[in-house]
């Protein structure tokens, strides 16, 4: 697994600027039998433009786009196990690979 330092810097015209890869965060939420891709933590999953009925298909498609799972969650809040047998959601991160040396 690759690791990235958020503290790498370089000198440019007397100013220290971060030289870290560009990161984006998203969430894959399980909502009423559908997996919804959200780019805002507080977004309504029902209004998601990207949805899947199959968890593995959703994760595979997102992985192919460069998203990685940084945190699966299921029992962090009370959840009826009948409604969600595995993870109920995933925290995702995408790193701009062009920025990684």
pLDDT of residue 18: 56
Sign of the Cα pseudo-torsion (46, 50, 54, 55, in order) = negative
Entry field: residues in the chain:
101
Among residues 39, 47, 69, the alpha carbon closest in space to that of 56 is found at 69
- pLDDT tens, residue by residue, 55-98: 999 999 999 999 999 988 875 554 554 555 556 899 999 987 65
Q: What is the pTM of this model?
A: 0.64
Q: Are strands 51-52 and 23-31 parallel, antiparallel or unpaired?
A: unpaired
List C-alpha distances in Å: 29 to 1, 8, 14, 37, 95.
24, 33, 44, 7, 20
pLDDT score recorded for residue 54 = 94
């Amino acid at each position: 697994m690759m690791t990235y330092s958020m503290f790498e810097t370089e000198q440019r015209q007397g100013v220290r600027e971060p030289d870290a890869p560009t990161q984006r965060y998203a969430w894959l939420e399980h909502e009423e039998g559908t997996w919804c891709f959200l780019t805002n933590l507080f977004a309504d999953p029902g209004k998601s433009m990207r949805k899947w009925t199959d968890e593995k298909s959703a994760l595979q498609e997102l992985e192919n786009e460069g998203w990685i799972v940084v945190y699966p969650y299921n029992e962090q809040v009370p959840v009826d196990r009948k409604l969600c047998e595995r993870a109920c959601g995933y925290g995702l991160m995408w790193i701009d690979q062009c920025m990684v040396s």
